[in-house]
Amino acid sequence: MLAIYSVIVLLFASLCSWMLSGSPLPLALSTIVVLTGYAAKRWTRHSPAHQLIAASVVALPAGVIEWHLFRSGQAMVMSAETPAILHLGMALLWFSAVLAILSAPSQPRLIKPTQLATGLAGGAILAASASATVLYDYRAWQVFPVAVLPLTIYLKSLIITTGAKARTHLAAFAAIILVATGILSGSVAGTSYLASTFGAERDDAEDLSPQRPTDIGSSSGSMDGASRKIPREGNVTFNHQVQLFVKPHDTALLDHWSKGPLYFRTATLTRFESDEVIAPLRSGQWLYDLDDGEEDATVQLLATPPGRGYLYSVFLKQKASLSLPLAAGTRSILTSAVYEFADNWFQLSPPKEVPLFRFTAEAGIRKPSRITKFEKRLPPNSPYLSLPPSPLSAQVRKLTGSFDRGDPLNAIQNYFDRKAEYSLSFSTPEKMSPIENFIFGDHTGHCEHYGAATVLMLRTMGIPSRLAYGYTGGSVDRKKALFAFRDSDFHTWSEVLTSDRGWVIFDTVPEVEEAAPRVPGAAKVTALNVNDYHNFSDLDIPGRTTRPWIESGLDRIIEFLSLNFITVLFIAVILIGIALWIQITKKRRLPGDRSSARIASSEIQIPPYLRELREVGSDKGVPFHRSMTWREFETELSRRIELTPEVSRGISYYYAVQFAGRKRDADLETALENSFRKWKGSPTEPES
């Protein structure tokens, strides 16, 4: 029964892991482990050492594979990031299950305690992992009973004997589940209370909950206008309310973003209409899935994306659909169509009745490096080189004429470091424009002044550039793998067009306390219910990256399992049930003397007269193995001693009773037993 219990344990453990992470990988690996265990049973039937080795060979690689796929992001984790120790718990449960399968039906003295100990340890780790994971799609009362079931089953096996009544088993199950669930719930509630009561009161660890988007002083975060007027005066304040959430699907992307700097562009401005007004480079076109010739539910933003791509999802309110936040290096958006309002300024059109929506995009990882190869093939009248139609252009050109042309970016940065001062409170004299005052006047302003002045300087030096708006830094909750961006994270920067890497960020804004941070800060973000957000993306995307076919094929399998978890669970239960049925019915088949006699030779079915014969063999160095038939034992015994006719007679009688329907003869069995007992004392060696 322990083998059946162990298989049930794996089903519940896989279900718990899916509820925590949203990944079907543990179920797939559990099914493979169970089937592999039954397949290996025939080669490890009589050796406890072989059974231990086989269980290790099956379970440990499965645990390593699961850990690697979760860490690399290929496990399609759609909910929370689970603790790494969860994979150790699953490996222990797999080891225990395989050991139970290999050693069934009768477990040797060493195997049973080992199997129970590893099962208890794995169940305890699973329960602890559930209590340490932030729940998204399910509540604690739904997850915790499932999480404690594996531990409950092994505790029941340890406490309650096999011969106990059914109601005793049920009572033990119910009691242990209630107690364990109560302990988990109490520990989570107690930890939360202690953290909120005695935790450090830090601004970067505050609870970030989604709020209604607000304008950022005089700089609108929504960017839903066309042209933008650089503010002349202001005293900018923030509500510190969350504007959007971003969830990377891959641990590598989470690690890269957490180290920063992190930029999410929402809009760009290119044309100087005057000293104060900058307009977007309008494109006004729909981009479709089929534009690249492939129907893969993916709109390509970069023609030839380099390297591997990583998925991330953005969670927004309806108003933000006019300017989609996209991470630097984003190469595609997973949707059927997206509207490009202006140069790298993208929009979606959710219905008015959809207050929340989400989309998924794919970005590459590029390490920061020095910008040296500027794009020089643009015509002089390119919008990325255009200057304001005013005397300010000549003034700036004269200023930058003294800059080092060998390292123009460093020269501009040094100028601002010496002259400019970042401030959210500023004022522009009447006879000057905001950019002119920032460069030649009191040099005071915020990120928008820095960005516009930088673009103007770059263009006077022949470097194509543009002004970008969006979010930087933000706050990251690594446990949930979730980033949150507030209104105070809204930022403006300049971008330079290069010949080798396309648009590259060149941010001259100093990293001061008042400015938007560039590197994410630690934060505790409230749970995000993804089901509340209308989904614009389809994750079943074949061939969207250039990864090896084995890796991409594994991704497709895991994605399919994610989208069809209930069906896959049903199939897994059927497959495991078939394996159990084959194992049970195999013992009842009668394909011939050999297999039938093996099954009939269990300790319970051996009559007394054959036990006497078995002792004769044991005394003479011919032990009876359960893999032997009695005829095989007779043959082996005859090679060591001279047998009496009663041996063949007794074995023939045994077969007739077991398989031919002959009625048992008590007198004959007593006579055979007495004969073997007398003969056992004086066996003779066969003559050579």
Q: What digits encode the pLDDT tens for the residues 580-596?
A: 666 666 555 444 444 44
E strands, 180-275, in order: 207-208, 228-229, 233-235, 242-248, 263-269, 271-272
Closest of 84, 83, 98 to residue 33, by C-alpha: 98
User: At CA 337, angle to CA 335 and CA 338, rounded to 5?
Assistant: 100
Q: How far apart are CA 307 and CA 546, in angstroms?
A: 7
Q: Which residues pair with 327 in a beta bridge?
A: 264
Helices 608-619 and 630-638, interaxial angle, to 10°? 40
Q: How many CB atoms lie within 10 A of CB 135?
A: 17
Query: ∠474-480-486 over CA atoms, to 5°?
Result: 20
- Nearest one of 126, 140, 40 to 87, comparing CA atoms: 126
> Pseudo-torsion of CA 242, 247, 251, 255, nearest 10°?
-30
For 566, other C-beta atoms within 10 Å of its C-beta total 9
Interval 319-346: pLDDT, tens: 888 899 999 989 999 998 999 999 999 9
In degrees, rounded to 5, the angle at the alpha carbon of residue 160 between the alpha carbons of residues 154 and 166 is 105
pLDDT for 554 equals 60
pLDDT tens per residue, range 225-252 = 578 999 999 899 888 888 999 999 888 8
The mean pLDDT value for 618-634 works out to 79
* Token representation of residue 449: 């002044």
Element containing residue 460 per DSSP (H, E): helix 447-460
Higher pLDDT, 448 or 194: 448
pLDDT at residue 481 above 80?
yes
**Which has the closest alpha carbon to 207: 142, 258, 134, 256?**
134
The least confident of 28-42, 71-85, 610-624 is 71-85
Task: Give the model's pLDDT for residue 556.
Answer: 59
Percentage of the chain beyond pLDDT 70 is 75
* Among the ranges given (268-272, 440-444, 609-613), the one the predictor scored with the smallest mean pLDDT: 609-613
Strands (DSSP E) found in 326-388: 326-327, 330-333, 337-342, 345-347, 356-363
- What is the rounded CA–CA span in Å between residue 148 and residue 13? 9
Q: Tell me which of 51-60, 209-218, 395-404, 486-495 is least confident.
A: 209-218
Residue found by looking up tokens 């003779």 in the block:
684
pLDDT attached to residue 547: 47
DSSP state of 491: E
Other Cβ atoms closer than 10 A to 158: 13
Tracing tokens 């044309």 back to the chain, one arrives at 271
Rounded-to-integer distance, Cα 89 and Cα 120, Å: 10
pLDDT digits (tens, 9 = 90+) for 406-433: 899 999 999 999 999 999 999 999 989 9
Amino acid, single-letter form, for residue 618: S
- The DSSP H or E segment spanning 190 is helix 166-198
Tens of pLDDT, residue by residue over 513-523, are 889 999 999 88
β-pairing verdict for 263-269 and 326-327: antiparallel
Whether pLDDT at 359 is above 90:
yes
Q: Is the pLDDT of residue 108 over 80?
A: no
For residue 53, give the nearest of 63, 44, 65 by alpha carbon. 44
| pLDDT tens per residue, range 160-174 | 554 445 555 555 555
Find the radius of gyration of the CA atoms of the chain. 37
The residue with tokens 């492939």 is: 294
Q: Taking the CB of residue 656, how many other CB atoms lie within 10 A of it? A: 13
- The token duo for 409 is 């970016």
Write down the H helix ranges in 22-47. Answer: 25-40
More confident residue, 463 or 368: 463
Residue 184 has pLDDT above 50, yes or no: yes
Phi, psi of 271 (to 5 degrees): -90, 130
Pairwise pLDDT comparison (655 vs 575), residue with the higher score: 655
C-alpha neighbours within 13 Å on the C-beta side of residue 201: 1
User: What is the rounded average pLDDT of the residues 1-14?
Assistant: 77
Bigger pLDDT: 330 vs 195: 330
What is the residue type of 203?
D
**CB distance 205 to 522 below 8 Å:** yes
**Contacting residues for 465 by C-beta, under 8 A, at least 6 apart:** 384, 454, 455, 458, 459, 494, 495, 496, 497, 506
Find all residues with CB under 8 Å of 255, minimum gap 6, and list them.
none
CA angle 385, 386, 390 (to 5 degrees): 140
Residue 271's DSSP bridge partners are 279
The packing angle between helices 549-563 and 25-40, to 10°, is 100
